[in-house]
Structure 1
């Protein structure tokens, strides 16, 4: 009888002990283990990272690292660390956190309104893992340029401003492949046919579109401005676009941060293949990254007889257009008087 009581007592102790242990394990795994007030935080784990690096990355956001480490070991996470961007949500338990660290989330990257290839690539590098030097080396690879009929001067044309989805740890090569694919998709049969009717290549269209983009921020005016430049090309005239002079000055000085609000007569003498006051045709590459509306403005330019235009003094952001030089000179006279009144020298 005593033996039965002893066995029963031992069994009860074992059951109670097991229950307590089970409760503690359950608590370690499934109780809240975050330490941040935001709804969610992003964690970035670099390619080839070790579990120690993961610990360093998540430590500011974890309430109890011992519980986190225990669950990580039980789920064999240290042996299978994944790189990428991960999202932790407030109130997650250790099990949720480990599961989240196994599910990388995509990032949306954009790079519109960049004036140079280097700046476009730098903007991309701010949003994904590969650095700007690695990306620049891949994009300017000689074989890639030759196979795709690009040069370093016109490569910016390949960057169609949009929002693109990547995983944060996407390699530089895969970034290049996707953007090249998107460029080819953008230049579909319809756009190619329109370019051909203008007797222009897609690269020439992009170079002209960059000028149109710089000339006016008003999307509804861009087809009219594009029509002016196409008229000049058809008549064998130089484009004589002030934005190309500004770009030439910046390119020669290497200072793309300088602000030039007014082009002076001496600036028109700037010796550069980008200066359309000195050179015939479109520049050897875009003077900025044209957005899609500017490219389509060239492809769908307004049909008219205008040859000249200058900034309007009565419609901010817009321009006054003219067919004859005399009309243009009158418009220009009003504009220069207005600029002098404002005291704009450079």
Structure 2
């Protein structure tokens, strides 16, 4: 009996010790949790004091994670990446993403960590305030200072971007939004009635518009520049890229420069994948040689002009009645090339005209996988079989 009594007392003592340990553990966790919360809020206060209030556009996850990252890496954000870096120009293009901007900043040696910079820009809301332009930056500036410099709403230079396949009105809209003291209407008036001086830069005389000759690319020039300065820059770029080898290639295909630009402008609108441009060129050459109509949708889109329903200069999809539009640009109704270019082609499109692929194809249509690629066919029956229906 004494032995049993001792065992009971031992068990009761063990339970008391167990409850005591649980209590100590609970208290420890409670104190630790409280310390973590207090520490987090102190850290938040420090981050806000150094980097400002967080953007109201942050998600819950970003509100939790970004301050921690900024606090841990605060020295990297507030110290220069290098004390030896010279001032350099940095260009932000229209529509460029904040991730790409940060990636290029790191790639050009202006800051050490693109992802950290991206977090800071998003945390502070600067990501939504960035504008296109050319900026003077240096690795002797800290990332925070670089971010502030990128907020300069009135850079000295204007950035004009011309994308491949844009028509002249789309270029005019970008010019108007570039910060250059030239309106879209002024640009259109000059580009749709070019002077002999402009045509001389292109070495052509038989065009009534600069459609097709506005060479795609990004142009940087002082905001005080004139419309003449801009057009001379763009047309000079076109002439500089259309070299002797291209002109010889156009001649071998039996085309003048203007005819080559017309065909290249159509190919530019048809091709999504660059490497298919010579194949698409071969189809059009084969059709022209056979006396077939080109029957290409972009020429109809060009003839239709601005579509209010889609808020676009390139109506899509087209309907059967659209193919009957009475226009010399409608290649479903008229043989040969349209009377002028329908867009501004890039160098790849121009090269595809000078050096087309050699194929037996007369037809092509978009692949059904949404990749932008095309299926090519020799006969109309094959073409029909390539339908996605």
Asked if Structure 1 and Structure 2 have the same fold, meaning a TM-score greater than 0.5 normalized by the shorter chain, the answer is: yes
Where does 1:40-189 land on structure 2 (aligned, <5 Å)? 106-113=157-164, 115-132=166-183, 133-139=185-191, 140-144=193-197, 147=200, 148-149=204-205, 151-153=207-209, 155-189=210-244
Q: Distance in 1 between matches of 2:181 and 2:158?
A: 14
Cα gap change, 1:85/1:262 in structure 2, threshold over 3 Å: closer, same or farther? closer
Q: Distance in 2 between matches of 1:124 and 1:88?
A: 25
Q: Distance in 1 between matches of 2:334 and 2:307?
A: 16
Secondary structure of 1:130's partner? coil
Which residue is equivalent to 1:9?
Answer: none
CA deviation string 1:21-53 (max 9, x = no partner): xxxxxxxxxxxxxxx99999x9xxxxxxxxxxx
Q: Distance in 2 between matches of 1:291 and 1:310?
A: 22
Q: Distance in 2 between matches of 1:306 and 1:114?
A: 24
CA deviation string 1:219-248 (max 9, x = no partner): 111111111011111112110101211222
Q: Distance in 1 between matches of 2:135 and 2:372?
A: 43
Which residue is equivalent to 1:287?
Answer: 342
Q: Distance in 2 between matches of 1:134 and 1:314?
A: 43
Q: Distance in 1 between matches of 2:224 and 2:287?
A: 47
Which residue is equivalent to 2:325?
Answer: 270
Contact persistence 1:247–1:274 (CA under 8 A)? yes
- 5+ unaligned residues in a row in structure 1: which ranges? 1-35, 43-83, 92-103, 338-346
Cα gap change, 1:157/1:192 in structure 2, threshold over 3 Å: closer, same or farther? same
Work out whether 1:323 is the aligned partner of 2:367.
no
Equivalent of residue 209 in structure 1, options 264, 268, 274: 264
Contact persistence 2:181–2:224 (CA under 8 A)? yes
Residue 326 of structure 1 and its aligned partner are, at CA, apart by: 1.9
Where does 1:248-259 land on structure 2 (aligned, <5 Å)? 248-250=303-305, 257=312
Q: Distance in 2 between matches of 1:184 and 1:284?
A: 21
Contact persistence 1:114–1:120 (CA under 8 A)? no
CA deviation string 1:183-228 (max 9, x = no partner): 2212211110001111112222222122212222111111111110
CA deviation string 1:57-108 (max 9, x = no partner): xxxxxxxxxxxxxxxxxxxxxxxxxxx98869989xxxxxxxxxxxx96555
Q: Distance in 1 between matches of 2:199 and 2:313?
A: 33
Residue 145 of structure 1 and its aligned partner are, at CA, apart by: 6.0
- Greater Cα offset, 321-330 or 115-124: 115-124
Cα gap change, 1:255/1:204 in structure 2, threshold over 3 Å: closer, same or farther? farther
Q: Distance in 2 between matches of 1:259 and 1:109?
A: 21
Contact persistence 1:111–1:162 (CA under 8 A)? yes
Equivalent of residue 245 in structure 1, options 300, 318, 328: 300
Cα gap change, 1:223/1:281 in structure 2, threshold over 3 Å: closer, same or farther? same
Which residue is equivalent to 1:311?
Answer: 366
Could you state the TM-score of these two structures normalised by the residue count of structure 1? 0.61
Cα gap change, 1:265/1:86 in structure 2, threshold over 3 Å: closer, same or farther? closer
Equivalent of residue 233 in structure 1, options 279, 285, 288: 288
Secondary structure of 1:157's partner? coil
Could you state the TM-score of these two structures normalised by the residue count of structure 2? 0.55
Contact persistence 2:301–2:314 (CA under 8 A)? no
